[in-house]
Structure 1
Amino acid sequence: MRYYPTFLDLQGQRCIVLGEGELAAAKVKDLRDAGAEVEEIGSADYRPGDLAGARLVVDASGDLEVNKATWAEAEAAGILVNVVDVPEKCRFIAPAIVHREPLLVAISTSGESPFLASALRARLERILGAEWGPFTALVGAVRRRLRARGVPLHDQLKTYQRLLASDVLSLYRAGAAEEAERVADLIASQSGSERPGRVALVGAGPGDPGLLTVAAQELLWRADLVLHDALVSPATLACCGPQAKLVDVGKRGGRRQTEQDSITARLIQEARAGREVVRLKGGDPFVFGRGGEELADLVAAGIDVVVVPGVSSVMAGPAAAGIPLTLRDVAATVGFTTGRVADGGADLEAIVRLAEAVDTLVVLMPLANLDALTAALATSVGPDRPAAAVAAATTPEQRVVRAKLCRIAAATRAEGLEAPVLLVVGEVVDALPKGRLDHLISHLQRTV
């Protein structure tokens, strides 16, 4: 590590900025914002000895001769000095900062790329909204309150975790400061006592972690336990915090009701033990994911539960493959269904009725019954209807197979597609120029 990161208390300290222009003015502003007594010296006005008694010096003059002189004087006097854009003449470097008073986040590339530091700051500014300022101040107030009460450190930490897992941040974000403080006061008053946890039913989206909602990312980061489907992507699971225990409770090939019951029982058990639990389900938790059943059981058990919607694969998969579900003069109606029902089979009659009623049909989890499914559809809507199988949509492993409905099952097997796969049937599959789409999709995947 080339630099030791620290924050300086410059309240009332004499600091000097050399130079003119926007850069020097920005340095002056930052130092004054930090409470420093700032003296400005023009490039042509500097004389040896001007730095005497200064705690910190920033040389933004851009003058090589001035740079050499200020560096030599500051070094000799043991003064912290930064010669802007001359790393070898810096005893400290100024980071890019995200300021949400009193929260201050600093980003440094060790002088390698100020541009990259600024780009990272822009990303963090989107993540750390204005609500983080009052939230940080509130946590500080709670900390002082708990310490004054003599609450043990272990119980203090549990209280901070509860604050972070609560709705306080969301309330601040919504402008409900009084309600946020009321909730925080209640949590602080319970410090040292056992408190039930919470279950979050979270949609993991189709696979690309960039398609997770902000709320989903926050819950994954602070969860104690994550019970996830088998097909949730490794990149999505990497968004979980280091403290989270990950448990695969997926249904590859189908599971019996008793096994679903055991998942729900564990959710209830872990929440009652005071843990923050995430039930992470592919796509959206309420689209062919049994999220509704889990919600009903959790509510019946008196468990605090929150639902975080996800980007459903029924829409994201076709979009990632360049297949519009609706298209003017081609398709105006869409139907969504699943190729697997409770007993592992498929309700072919219901799927056929749906296909006959809509322009575009999307079938999730079709692989186990693909031959029977496509044969029934071919008989109903015609063997030459365009179809596509999309595997691992939105991930680097995405693959798309297109064929007529009568041949899509054989083509899917020939290409070795494995779950997760969805099937799209309709004229929209071939409605756009395939070559151009493949090039565009490939480019977008590389960009992502």
Structure 2
Amino acid sequence: MNRFPAYISLDDRPVLIIGGGASALAKARLMVTAGATLTVIGEKLSRETKSALKGKARLIERAPVVADIEASVLVFITEGANDQVERWVEAARIAGVLVNVVDRPEYCDFTTPSIIDRGRVTVSISTDGAAPVLGRKLRADIEALLPSKVGSLADFADQYRDAVKSKINESERRQFWERFFEGPIAAQVLTGDEAGAHEAMLALINGPASEAREGVVHIVGAGPGDPDLLTIKALRLLQRADVILYDRLVSDDILALARRDAERFYVGKAKANHAVPQDEIEARLVAFAREGKMVVRLKGGDPFIFGRGGEELETVRAAGIPVFTTPGITAAAGCAAAANMALTHRDHSQAVTFVTGHAKGEGEPDLDWSALAALKNTLVVYMGVSKADSIGAKLIAHGREASTPVAVIEKGTRADQKIIKGTLGQLGQLIDAGSVIGPALLVIGEVAALADGETLLAIAQKERLVA
């Protein structure tokens, strides 16, 4: 550690910035946010600096003098010839004033780090002036992991510090706060339900000291498979989870982002092969939460679009367990983007309809084929590979043209994705020619003609070349 990190209170304390350009303005904005009594001095102050700092700082157009420096607790030098900078730095050090010279670490008594500001919560990253761009990159990486309301959570906890001190023994306080920040009350604050959080917090503080830790369930969408399409909130939850129950459609790359010591349970389903029955999955969610654990139910795509997330939500809620939902990018949106295809288009389709091609057992999906055929807009079929021939035939029989473009997208957004396109009359052939097994999506409608992908002719030509 080359420099000691410290947070200094600058409320109503004098800070001087020498310079009037963009660098001076950037430092000035930081100091205004920190509450400093700010003076900006430069032989020429830019119009933007004057406008942005009007009423927020003393603005003086002249060269600085020693008295300006001596009257400050911190000095930033953002411009000036070498001999001028050296004189100002020497004057600051004689006066015992800490100085920072922008882009000149050899003159700096302190540096300004990359800062993540969440109110009461401040995170700073410093490379000691050696690689400021790296500092900004690290800031972006960390910022993605911090909930937007984490400052509100700190404020909330501060309101109860005295109450916790008066009600809970000193030896148990640390454990109390650890339970709080990992538990459902903190989750309520982070989702914006502060009224409910206050009610729950009062009950927790005034409840029995021996009360078991309360768990929480998060039903989380993992998106279509590409880990870069995971939401920031989903990533945060994965890295905090005690237990993860995940589906067949959740990729290994996404699981690799989870907390290393989290317990993981595969509960995936394939057609006619349910590794764990749905009622048992729901029972596990409740049981793990009652053990005081933070449980993440991780589902491919979005939990509430053909993902049975609604059933799990109802069961967990009925058991009295706090439950929260985090949406994911549904397969239709992800796969369409992977194929560079719009689902709606002013020239081709004014609406999009999502349906499932899956039915109980080996039965046919119970759909209104006449209504679907009559829409003439984009139709997206989830879980329709095994019934593709039947789906195509029913739509044609009910009035959809056999020449309607279709695209079959298998494992969309993943490295091994496969996209095949043709017409509705060829739907079964497309599945067979592409050796499509799934998970795959069927997109039916004029927009499918715009998709990137192979045609039956291209597949046949490739096979002839291989042969």
TM-score of the pair, normalised by structure 1: 0.75
Counterpart CA distance in 1 for 2:28 and 2:355 is: 62
In the other structure, the counterpart of 1:438 is none
| Aligned Cα root-mean-square deviation (Å) | 4.3
How far apart, CA to CA, are the structure 2 residues paired with 1:112 and 1:411? Answer: 56
> Structure 1 residues 334 and 52 mapped into 2: Cα distance closer, same or farther (>3 Å)?
closer
Deviations 1:390-438 (A, max 9, x none): 12334455442112334444444544555321011233322x4869xxx
Q: How does 1:237-386 map to 2 (within 5 A)?
A: 237=255, 240-241=258-259, 244-256=262-274, 259-328=277-346, 330-331=348-349, 334-343=352-361, 345=362, 347=364, 350=367, 355-359=372-376, 360-370=378-388, 373-374=391-392, 381=400, 383-386=402-405
1:279 Cα deviation from its structure 2 partner: 1.4
Give me the whole-angstrom Cα distance separating, in 2, the residues matched to 1:14 and 1:258.
64
Structure 1 partner of 2:114: 96
Distance 1:305 1:402 in 2: 41
Give the corresponding residue for 2:56: none
Offset of residue 266 of structure 1: 0.9
Shift of 1:347: 0.9
SS of 1:171's partner is: coil
Contact 1:331 1:428 in 2 (8 A): yes
Contact 2:144 2:232 in 1 (8 A): no
Q: 1:387, CA displacement in angstroms?
A: 1.5
Give the secondary-structure state (helix, strand or coil) at the position aligned to 1:167: helix
What's the CA shift for 1:84?
A: 0.9
- Listed one character per residue, the Cα deviations across residues 247-277 of structure 1 (whole Å, up to 9, x for unaligned) are 3221245434963232122111111112222
What residue is the counterpart of 2:188 in the other structure?
167
Q: Deviations over 1:194-253 (max 9, x none)?
A: 143232323333334565556545544443222121212345445545664333221245
Deviation at 1:74, TM superposition (A): 6.5
Q: 1:318 is aligned with what amino acid?
A: A
User: Whole-Å Cα distance in 2 between the matches of residues 16 and 331 of structure 1?
Assistant: 60
Residue 220 of structure 2 contacts residue 326 of structure 2 at CA under 8 Å; is this kept in 1? yes
Aligned residue number for residue 52 of structure 2: none
3-state SS of paired residue (2:5): coil
Deviations 1:318-366 (A, max 9, x none): 35434444445754565433333232x3516748556534324322123
Paired position in structure 1 for 2:243: 225
Aligned amino acid, residue 5 of structure 2: T
2:447 to 398, 404, 428: 428
Relative distance call for 1:213 and 1:70 in structure 2 (3 A) is: same
**Structure 2 CA distance for partners of 1:370 and 1:37, relative to 1, 3 Å:** closer
* 1:131-156 deviation per Cα after TM superposition (whole angstroms, max 9, x unaligned): 44343122234345434532422233
Query: Is the contact between residue 99 and residue 105 of structure 1 (CA under 8 Å) also seen in structure 2?
Result: yes
The residue number in structure 2 matching 1:20 is 19
Q: Aligned in 2, Cα 1:396/1:89: closer, same or farther, shift over 3 Å?
A: farther
SS of equivalent to 2:160: helix
Cα distance, 1:376 vs structure 2: 5.8
Q: How many residues align?
A: 427
Counterpart-to-counterpart distance in 2, 1:28 and 1:201: 44
**Does residue 401 of the first structure (1) align with residue 420 of the second (2)?**
yes
User: Structure 1 residues 395, 112: CA separation in 2 closer, same or farther (over 3 Å shift)?
Assistant: farther
Q: Partner residue of 1:85?
A: 103
Question: Distance between the aligned counterparts of 2:223 and 2:318, measured in 1?
Answer: 27
Aligned to 2:199: 182
- After TM superposition, the structure 1 = structure 2 runs for residues 52-71 of structure 1, keeping only pairs within 5 Å, are 56-71=74-89
Distance 1:73 1:418 in 2: 75
Unaligned runs of 5+ in 1: 436-448
Amino acid at match of 1:186: A
In structure 2, distance between residues paired with 1:161 and 1:348: 42
* Percent of pairs with identical residues: 35
* Alignment partners' CA distance in 1, 2:336 and 2:144: 29
Local SS of the residue matching 1:21: coil
Partner of 1:444: none
Deviations 1:63-93 (A, max 9, x none): 2113334556767998754211223333432
**2: CA distance, partners of 1:185 / 1:319:** 47
In structure 2, relative to structure 1, the CA distance for the partners of 1:216 and 1:25 (3 Å cut) is closer
Give the Å deviation of 1:185.
Answer: 3.0
- 3-state SS of 1:66 partner: helix
Structure 1 contact 338–363 (Cα < 8 Å) conserved:
yes
| Contact 2:373/2:396, CA 8 A, preserved across alignment | no
Q: Are the equivalent residues in 2 in contact too, given 1:15–1:57 (CA < 8 A)?
A: no
8 Å contact from structure 2 (residues 92, 99) kept in 1: yes
Question: When the two structures are superposed, what TM-score results if normalisation uses the length of structure 2?
Answer: 0.73
CA shift in 2, pair 1:91/1:272, >3 Å: same
C-alpha distance in 2, partners of 1:409/1:111?
A: 62
Q: Distance in 2 between matches of 1:13 and 1:349?
A: 70
SS at match of 2:183: helix
The answer (yes or no) to whether the contact 1:229–1:249 under 8 Å persists in 2 is: yes
The 1:65–1:392 alpha-carbon spacing in structure 2 relative to 1, beyond 3 Å, is farther
CA distance 1:402–1:221, change in 2 (3 Å)? same
